């Protein structure tokens, strides 16, 4: 909470969303506003930071520090996008691995790089390792190439 407001993105408060009273029959203007809020949320929480880290990788010799943080943010972003895409408040218990596999293999952007097997490795060795143990697993390493590849 900041100045008695709950911010759901850098520029928008919860009230900005609630006053729209969004429904399937809402007008185009309301839906446009929701899209603006969503874009601000994704950009502000994830994309701007990932871009800043990527820019630092290009100019900083300690690129591993930035790639670790970037991959952690990318993993959070994947789960967030999966939930929005599927209309979920939370990812179904024990459904995280399948969510990652589906996202990475079905995506227009990532599908050509991932099979079910490699997406499963990404989930278990990279995502789980970073988010649960603060390190990758089974000799998986993050390099500049990996970060650009994602």
**What would the mean pLDDT of 17-37 be, rounded to a whole number?**
94
Residue 65: the pLDDT is 63
Q: Is the pLDDT of residue 117 over 90?
A: yes
DSSP label at residue 89: S
Cα separation, 15 vs 125, in Å, equals 39
Q: Is the pLDDT of residue 10 over 60?
A: yes
Q: Which of 71, 77, 73 is nearest to 144 (CA)?
A: 71
Cα separation, 139 vs 41, in Å, equals 34
What residues does each domain of the chain span?
Answer: 1-45, 60-149
Residue 146: the pLDDT is 44
Average pLDDT, the chain: 83
Residue 148: the pLDDT is 39
Q: Which of 141, 103, 107 is nearest to 120 (CA)?
A: 103
pTM for the whole structure: 0.76
pLDDT digits (tens, 9 = 90+) for 33-63: 999 999 999 999 999 888 887 777 666 656 5
């Amino acid at each position: 909470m900041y100045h008695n407001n709950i911010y759901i993105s850098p520029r928008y408060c919860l009230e900005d969303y609630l006053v729209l009273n969004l429904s399937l029959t809402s007008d185009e203007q309301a839906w446009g506003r929701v899209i603006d809020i969503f874009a601000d949320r994704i950009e502000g929480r994830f994309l701007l930071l990932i871009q800043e880290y990527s820019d630092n990788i290009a100019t900083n010799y300690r690129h591993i520090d930035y790639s670790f943080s970037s991959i952690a943010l990318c993993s959070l972003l994947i789960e967030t996008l999966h939930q929005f895409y599927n209309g979920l408040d939370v990812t179904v218990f024990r459904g995280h691995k399948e969510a990652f596999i589906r996202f990475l293999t079905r995506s227009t952007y990532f599908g050509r790089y991932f099979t079910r097997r490699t997406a499963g490795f990404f989930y278990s060795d990279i995502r789980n390792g970073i988010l649960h143990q603060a390190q990758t697993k089974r000799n998986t390493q993050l390099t500049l190439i990996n970060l650009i590849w994602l």
